[in-house]
Every structure is written in C-alpha cells, then in structure tokens.
Amino acid sequence: MSLQFEDVKSSLGEQFRTSNRRFYSKGSVRVSPSDCILPVRYKQFADRIKNFEVREDDVWIITYPKCGTTWTQEMVWLLMNNMDFKTAIQERLSLRSPFIEYVSISNPEEDKEFGLNCVDTISLAENSPSPRCIKSHLPKDLLPDQLWTKKPKIVYVTRGAKDVLVSYYNHHRLLNGYTGSLRDFAEVFMSESVVYWDPFWKHILDFWKIRNEENILVNSYEEMKKASQVIQVIIHLLL
C-alpha cells in the first residue's frame, strides 16, 4: 500500500510548530495508512525506510517516544556484544544502535545551529555490521516491509500515558526549545497534533496484538524499573 501525505493544518498544530525551535519549522504531515504525524521532511525518506533491507539477525527496538528506548538500546546492545562496556563508553549509542528515521525528521540547518551533524541514519543502519541493533519510533504501518517477512527479533517497549506525556514535554522543552506550558503540550498531545502521534494507543495496540509471535518481545518501562530496583537491592545485600 502506498503512503499518502496530508499537511497538518490546525490551530493547535500551528501553535505547536511555532513553539519549537527544532524539527518542525517546515510544518508536519499526517501519514496514511497509519495517521502518524511526522515533520514534512519525512516525505523525502519514507520509501527508503519502507524498502529498507532487513537482516534476519537484526534486533529492532521499537517504542513510542519516551518509553525507555535508550535504556533498552543499551541493554540490548550490551547483550548482543558480550557486555562490551569499554566500547559502550567510548562509542556513541547513536552509532552503535542507529535511529533509522532520524534523518527524516531532523532539519540539517537546525542541527547545524545546535552544533549537531545530521548524518544519513538510513545509510548508517544499512552499512552497520551484523548483528545490527536498530531503533525506531515509527508505528507498525510505516516500518520496513521486510520486518514482517524476514522476522528479526523485535523488542517493543510501552509506558504509562501520563509519564510519556510529561517526559515528552520535558524532551521538547530541553532539546527542541519548546516554549509552551505543560498544559499547552497536553492539549496538543491529546488533540493528535504532536509528532509521532499514531495515535498513542494504536501505536501500542498494533504490537500488543502480535505479542505472541516468537520473534517479538513486548516489555514495559515499569517492568524494567521494577526489575532494576530488585537488582539494586540484591547487589546492596551482597556487598
């Protein structure tokens, strides 16, 4: 099914665009069939992502933003690389575990202003040695088609909606220069105007429905936090 793009034209969407310094200066589009909201730059890269060559020994980490993605990436990468903490410390996570669609949502001029180097993250993922650890926030309908034929391992992570909203607000405020209030952000979030809105529950439910597939693990931020607290107690007792 071919992707369709519709410009987001709403008062809240425009308010959200002008309240951020990064990513959204060119506007946003609603992408069908997913209804996901993404920066307009995504249109240039959508086909490359959909037709991305998946490998059977890949491990894909897929989440809605602010659900414990980075935490999961580090754990999975270390497990895949014999707990190589030395390399993990020396090499940026964005190189060890590429964020495949970042090039499609960033803006080179804005990245340069913030002292960042916008690399082609799709090519970075393509050229990474196997086994690859790849990150994405895209909903199921926008991910590479070969995920569902080659069936690599997929780790999907969820988190409570309220905590996602607060964390996503702080993300925009600290990294994107968002100037609106938490109440403003909550209104945009609930109106389906914020970037990566799929909507939120559909993003999760699409993976929940396939949670019993042998190559898919559905985890939660809350479960990871609980497990880490138990481990900390055990270490404390052992010491």
Which among 137, 171, 172, 236 is annotated as catalytic?
Answer: 137
Q: Which amino acid is located at 2 in the chain? A: S
**Length in residues, the chain:** 239
Max Cα separation, the chain?
58
Look at the block and give the residue holding tokens 């669609």: 101
Rounded to 10 degrees, the C-alpha dihedral 114/118/124/125 comes to 70
- Residue 82's CB is within 10 A of a number of other CB atoms, namely 7
Work out the number of other CB atoms within 10 angstroms of the CB of residue 99: 21
- Which helix (H) or strand (E) segment holds residue 5: the answer is strand 4-7
b/e for 46-68, b at 16 or more Cβ within 10 A? Answer: bebbbebebeeebbbbbbbbbbb
Known catalytic residue at 137:
yes
Catalytically annotated residues: 137
